[in-house]
Structure 1
Amino acid sequence: MDKGSTYEVKDMGLVTQGKNNLELAELHMGALLEVRERFAREKPLKGVRVGLALHVTKETAILVRTLKAGGADVAITGCNPLSTQDDVAAALAEEGVKVWAYKGENTEDYYRYIENVIAFKPQITIDDGCDLVSEIHKKHAHLIPDIICGCEETTTGIIRLKAMEKDNALKYPMIAVNDNKTKHLVDNYYGTGQSTIDGITRATNLLWAGKTVVVNGYGSCGRGVAQKAEGMGANVVITEVDNFRALQAAYDGFRVMPMNQAARIGDVFCSVTGNKHVISFEHMKLMKHGAMMANSGHFDNEIELSTLGEKAESRRNVRPFMEEYVLDGKKLFVLGEGRLVNLAAAEGHPSEVMSTSFCGQALSCEYGVKNKGKMEAKVLQLPTEIDDQIAGLQLKAMGISVDSLTAEQNDYLNSWEEGT
């Protein structure tokens, strides 16, 4: 481990590779680069301390550069023990960013690094999963009066934040970046779909064609995984607890059934719900020999691994990010330690995907500063016009133009008198 006064990373010898990856990421993040250019001119975050608990990837590094261009002082740590790209962490440290992260963090280091970011006394928090926000509220409430706002990127984090709001425990405004339409479309649907299939493939070298793939949850992320698995030739089964989503899955052509039925027929299981023990030990006892389990929700508790570890007759690593458990004489496989398989076993979302998501993060920070003191301590939605701006930035980056309303059309949409 290499350490300095403002960083702790695995290997500073990886700086050159990290810089190469940042250069490649920027080639595909034109929307965020346009935000960065404007931030560099206008300095909307001048003097603001921004603390991040995000996946430390090449794409996140471009967000960090954008915030710094806007005048912010930035400190960052990871939000998942297996999602850091060590070469990127080294490159950020070499650029003078306050960074504490490495791939494979133990629990002690994970929370020690979050404490380092908290000690930085951030005025804006950017979170992926709500751990940073949660630790501030539980252990450092004295910092809250100086916090302008926070931004949360994941479905799991929003679930936690809404629970805090319901309990009157949330004490500063949180902007739900995850709820942007652009985030649901590009990141959750297209990004999670592609990167999850990528992670499972890298971990297993699986042939998808002909396999029965059980997707637990049919929100935006589950829809993406189901679509991509079907595209690879898999037979897809959906499990759901929400009637509308189950109906949507059925109309999309997928089989829908309870998990205790799906558990008996699945070859590959992937949970994407943001909930706990979606794949339970009881389900595992029903699975067939050779079944594989992966998770693409934020926390590793979507799969009941603790009980599996206690009850299994044996456990071993058979290849990177693929563990074999023997249960009642049959082999079951867990990928990426049950953590986010797209980041544990692969590289997460493509750069184009994160460009739109991180436009949301950067513009949320700017919105928070502009509206300092005016926002309630609730989970807030970014204004629709900013979300539309993000979509426009991405269209521009793709070289796509759209039509504009004529004056007559605009008048028509804003009137009620003209009919048949």
Structure 2
Amino acid sequence: MSNFLPLKVKYRIWTIAEAKMLSDFLPPNVPPRREFLAKFVSFGIFDRKGRSKMSFRWQRDRKLERRFKNIVQQNPDLKQMLEERDDRSLLENLLQLWQSASSDRQKSLFGNCIFAYLEEPRYRAALTRFHAFRDFENPEQSWDYYLAIAGDVTLNPEKVLALLPRYNPAKSKLETFWDFELQSIMKEISNKETTEGKYSLWYKLKVASKKKLKEGLVEVVGVSEREAISYIFARDALFQVYSKKDNRWREPTRKKYQEAADYLKCHYADKCPNSDRVNEEWLQQAIEICAQALQPSHKLCYLDEGYNSQELEMLNSSGDGRAENPLDNLANQEFEANIRDKIPAINEAIVSKLEEFSAEQKEILQLRYGLDTSGSKIAKKIGKNKSTVSRIDYKCRRELMGAIFFWANKEEMGIGIKDIKGLDDVLEDWLKNYYKNL
């Protein structure tokens, strides 16, 4: 499996005409199911014919097949499982053999057989997820992204071992179990990265308790208790008239904000301070302030992470202890290479990528990170809706992150996407530092 950088992507519902106009890329259907032995010794091969055409076929690894057959011949239990087509017992035994393998060569053999077996549910799960949610501007990226998430599981026997106990043979076949299990993992990870589902701002806003929201409004945003009560009523009114649509949370429309304002005046007027000022614009602003209240005010550090008390105090304070160049925060992490010496080069890689952005992209970043302008005000200034501004900002940050990893791979630093902790936060700090010092 090739190294793949899973960039975050934003999704929205497109019309059929828009989708066809943007791209005709579709991944191929999974070919007919493999005969039983082939499930453990064959892998999926993609043949690309142009940008949108792709075919998919199974190809046996003849060397792996010979080695697997030799193992089976030497192990009567495996031979019986193969003859009985007992995939569950065979998979469990392969995992046990992988655990007890005495050499890397043996581990590789059993690991490859496990990965081969999970190839079909991996592709079926990715295909199902792709048809449910994808970025129509970059569908190939979505497809590769889902394959990478699933591959992170199927290539790791330890993760397979951890998931297998969930299987209930009374409910489904083993391959079907893995199909649904991998779909669930894809959904969880992609929702977390794209702030959809339970990670959506709107869902968090809906389920936040009044106590938690009030604490955030007073302690994080800094509003008075009287104002905080008004904003909580605004939140409550919004979710009386607004809910997720098509099983997804979307930004409320102006009509919904107006309906929420009307609802507040009708039902909460006698309880809500300043209810005489309530209108659509006020309510939208109140919701934006509530959203700010739910953002973390500081980093949480734990004593087992190796910080001393002075470092903890600096890290947990608001704004104190930040490096002059936000990239210096990366140097605290243990990589194979000395990243501190590489910071100027990383800085140059990010700036170089920034220079490739369009004038509109640069303006949005300048307003967002240099002038701390809200999304709604940026949208009004450049003549686009707020969701489009968010999407452009999001896409720019993903491209900048991609530039960092492209540089790291080029330098052969051995840094993987999971190795860099808090890179999103570091990149955001870097953008603020860069644009405020232009």
TM-score bracket relative to the smaller structure: under 0.3
Give the alignment's TM-score, normalised by structure 2.
Answer: 0.22
Structure with bigger gyration radius: 2
Give the alignment's TM-score, normalised by structure 1.
Answer: 0.23
Select the structure that is richer in helix.
Answer: 2
Structure number with the bigger relative contact order (C-alpha 8 A, sep ≥ 6) is 1
